[in-house]
Amino acid sequence: MTGRIAEICACLTPAHVFADVGCDHGYMTRYMLKNNLCERAYISDISAGSLEKARTLLNAEVEAGRCIPVVADGLDGIKEPCDLVLIAGLGGEETVKILSRVPLPKRFVLQPMKNTDKLRAFLIERGAKILCDYTFEDGKFYDLIVGEGEGGDRYSDFEIKYGRDNLRSPSAAFCRFLAAEQGKLRARLARREVRGESRDEMRAKLYELEVITDAIEATL
Ligand SMILES: C[S@@+](CC[C@H](N)C(=O)[O-])C[C@H]1O[C@@H](n2cnc3c(N)ncnc32)[C@H](O)[C@@H]1O
């Protein structure tokens, strides 16, 4: 199990019906079933080939009826409410599209690969309560959001952009993320890179990251 998968599994809590959307290999569902954390689990993937990997891994549980494979876009093929939904390894915009078509699940664990700010804004707009929202590191940096579909929450613009726990109780991983992003921007500015953002945009971003770093250091 990779560090990323272990980090995600540590956020999975007991449920009646669990759904692993974009399951691919199915390792997170195996964790749920082997640890008796759910009564039944749906493994869903838009790609039949990817789903087959999870189906093979979980063959005994599929045969026993505890695990139900579904080839579908998001939660579209799952015909009962799932009280815990995992969507990991997909883009933030794709995750928003999937969740836009259904009532928000009672509890969700989301690990978007990019555009996490768009996902945060969507969740807050839809009335979710966010329980955890932080960056961790496993070779690369990843965002992880755990929340509940109801309860409501308020986020500042900076929290939408960077993640609430990262700003309120910054981890060593988030500090390394800030340092890495600043390093990349300084290198691009030094190379006089012209593709993508303008130099002014890069400078503004660098300044913002420096301000956040200074604020964190001031509280240490
Ligand atoms: C990078 S893998 C992530 C696998 C696993 N969830 C993880 O975090 O390690 C992304 C998987 O999501 C599937 N996928 C992409 N878009 C999807 C969608 N809209 N609905 C269901 N599955 C999707 C892909 O086919 C692929 O198997």
Q: Residue 103 sits in a domain of what CATH number? A: 3.40.50.150
pLDDT for 63 equals 98
Distance 60 CA to ligand 1 centre (A): 22
* DSSP code for 195: S
Shared domain check, 196 and 114: no
Banded pLDDT at 1 (limits 50, 70, 90): confident
Shared domain check, 142 and 70: yes
Q: Is the CB of 98 under 6 A from ligand 1?
A: yes
This prediction's pTM = 0.97
Is the pLDDT at 23 greater than 90? The verdict is: yes
Banded pLDDT at 90 (limits 50, 70, 90): very high
Shared domain check, 185 and 87: no
> Per the domain annotation, does 105 fall within a domain?
yes
pLDDT for 59 equals 98
Q: Is the CB of 26 under 6 A from ligand 1?
A: no
Distance 153 CA to ligand 1 centre (A): 28
pLDDT for 46 equals 98
Shared domain check, 214 and 136: no
Cα dihedral 146/149/152/156 (nearest 10): 40
Shared domain check, 181 and 79: no
Distance 177 CA to ligand 1 centre (A): 25
Percent of residues, the chain, with pLDDT higher than 70: 100
- Ligand 1 binding pocket mutation candidate from 86, 87, 90 (most atoms within 8 A of CB): 90
**Number of domains within the chain:** 2
Q: Which 3-state string (H, E, C) describes 160-188? A: HHHCHHHHHCCCHHHHHHHHHHHHHHHHH
Q: Which of 102, 126, 156 marks a domain boundary?
A: 156
> Per the domain annotation, does 59 fall within a domain?
yes
Is the pLDDT at 172 greater than 90? The verdict is: yes
pLDDT for 196 equals 80
> Per the domain annotation, does 56 fall within a domain?
yes
What is the average pLDDT across 134-146?
98
Enumerate the β-bridge partners of residue 110: 87, 145
Domain membership of residue 179 as a residue range: 172-219
Shared domain check, 123 and 211: no
Is the pLDDT at 193 greater than 90? The verdict is: no
Distance 36 CA to ligand 1 centre (A): 24
> Per the domain annotation, does 22 fall within a domain?
yes
Is the pLDDT at 194 greater than 90? The verdict is: no
What is the average pLDDT across 53-73?
98
Tell which atom from ligand 1 comes closest to the C-alpha of 76.
20
Shared domain check, 215 and 117: no
pLDDT for 219 equals 82
Tell which atom from ligand 1 comes closest to the C-alpha of 88.
8
> Per the domain annotation, does 165 fall within a domain?
no
Shared domain check, 177 and 146: no
Shared domain check, 97 and 50: yes
The protein residue whose alpha carbon is closest to atom 24 in ligand 1 is 22
> Per the domain annotation, does 43 fall within a domain?
yes
Rg, the chain, Cα only: 19
- Ligand 1 binding pocket mutation candidate from 29, 50, 96 (most atoms within 8 A of CB): 50
> Per the domain annotation, does 125 fall within a domain?
yes
Is the pLDDT at 87 greater than 80? The verdict is: yes
pLDDT for 197 equals 87
**Start-end of H helices in 64-171:** 92-100, 116-125, 157-162, 164-168
Shared domain check, 7 and 83: yes
> Per the domain annotation, does 163 fall within a domain?
no
What is the average pLDDT across 15-40?
98
Shared domain check, 192 and 136: no
Shared domain check, 176 and 134: no
pLDDT for 25 equals 96
143 within 8 A of 122, measured Cβ to Cβ = no
Q: 34-56 pLDDT, tens per residue? A: 999 999 999 999 999 999 999 99
